[in-house]
Amino acid sequence: MTVTPETTPAPQLLPREIAPGLFWLGHCMKRLLANGASLHLYNCGYLIVGEKHSAFIETGMTCDVLVVMEQAERLIAERNLPQPRYVFTTHSEMAHSGGIARIMARWPEVTVHGDISDFHLVFPEYADRLHWAENGERFDLGGTEIVVCESVFRDLVYSRWFFDTKRHALFPGDGFAYAHHHEEGACGHMAEEVPEMNISEEMKFFAEVAFHWTNFVDIDPYIARLRELMFEELDVWVVAPTHGLPIGDPRATMPTVEAGMRTMRRADHP
């Protein structure tokens, strides 16, 4: 799949409350394919609301964060929501954490947790507010906790996943990454609201750009572990990926995602 450099914002349909107190933030970016079709990609952020604090999961790229912040500020003002206290970032790529400095500057109480990598070198003025997050750590927002959990399907070694205990929402970063074509009208919708979208096929794009390791392993043990984590250990009700539409019925949609994982292997690899 060849993508040209032209990137423009698609029509804005966010923020959207995908579960009570869980808001999908950001905007869909349109990329033109070589054949003239429009491929749309999300670098999603999420705002989780507790009784005492709110928290961001992911921040989007540097070109996304102003949109993410404006949406969050509007929601906080209109709904009288608690102020942000945390940013949780799955890993240190720009699409996931490019906006952390702007958010820390806007909300001085915010601390960042996750894969912070070398951020202390990039943002030395905020070094004391950057913290590695380890599996099993829990952060109390009031009425819900954010739990750091195993990142089963990841593109970087130190990726972290997060789980919201009240909404049973899993935030897997790149773990459920797929694009969509504009003709499907998928922007701003949950995956189940666009039945004509071929998630399995769209996942191949991210296999090419992020998940090269899938060419060299048996993917089924990863799928088995993912199912164990989601349905036996966490009882996931919502999946909120960074790239892709949120999934509102994981048990029904997971077979399609799993098929996509199995087809990530390129034809020229054994």
252 pLDDT band, cuts 50/70/90, is very high
Of the segments 28-42, 115-129, 197-211, which one has the largest average pLDDT value? Answer: 115-129
Number of domains in the chain: 1
User: Is the separation of the CB atoms in 40 and 245 below 8 Å?
Assistant: no
Coil, helix or strand at residue 255: helix
The predicted pLDDT at position 7 comes to 47
Residue 223 and residue 158: Cα distance in Å, rounded? 19
Q: Give 250 or 10, the one with higher predicted confidence.
A: 250
Task: Summarize the confidence of residues 99-105 as an average pLDDT.
Answer: 96
Quick check: is 268 in a domain? no
Residue 201 and residue 39: Cα distance in Å, rounded? 13
The predicted pLDDT at position 33 comes to 61
The predicted pLDDT at position 140 comes to 98
Quick check: is 189 in a domain? yes
DSSP string, 172-230: -GGGG---EEGGGT-TT--GGG-TT--HHHHHHHHHHHT-GGGGSS-SHHHHHHHHIII
Instruction: Indicate the DSSP class of residue 62.
Output: T
List of residues 6+ apart from 42 with CB closer than 8 A: 26, 28, 29, 242, 243, 244, 245
Q: Supply 252's token pair.
A: 């029904």
Task: Summarize the confidence of residues 181-189 as an average pLDDT.
Answer: 76
Q: Is the pLDDT of residue 257 over 80?
A: yes
Task: Summarize the confidence of residues 41-49 as an average pLDDT.
Answer: 92
The predicted pLDDT at position 4 comes to 40
187 pLDDT band, cuts 50/70/90, is confident
Quick check: is 119 in a domain? yes
Q: Is the pLDDT of residue 37 over 80?
A: no
Quick check: is 267 in a domain? no
Quick check: is 115 in a domain? yes
Quick check: is 269 in a domain? no
User: Is the separation of the CB atoms in 148 and 137 below 8 Å?
Assistant: yes
Give residue 169's domain range.
3-262
Residue 44 and residue 214: Cα distance in Å, rounded? 24
Element (H, E) at 51: none
- State pTM to two decimals: 0.91
Distances (CA, A) of 180 to 9, 95, 189: 14, 17, 11
266 pLDDT band, cuts 50/70/90, is low
Q: What is the pLDDT of residues 195-236, one digit of tens each?
A: 888 888 788 777 777 787 888 889 999 999 999 999 999 999
Average pLDDT of the chain is: 87
The predicted pLDDT at position 36 comes to 64
For tokens 């935030």, what's the residue? 171
Q: For the packed helices 199-209 and 250-262, what is the interaxial angle rounded to 10 degrees? A: 50
Quick check: is 78 in a domain? yes
In this structure, what CATH number is given to the domain that contains residue 120?
A: 3.60.15.10
Residue 194 and residue 40: Cα distance in Å, rounded? 14
Quick check: is 106 in a domain? yes
The predicted pLDDT at position 25 comes to 96
Of the segments 8-17, 117-126, 136-145, 199-208, which one has the largest average pLDDT value? Answer: 136-145
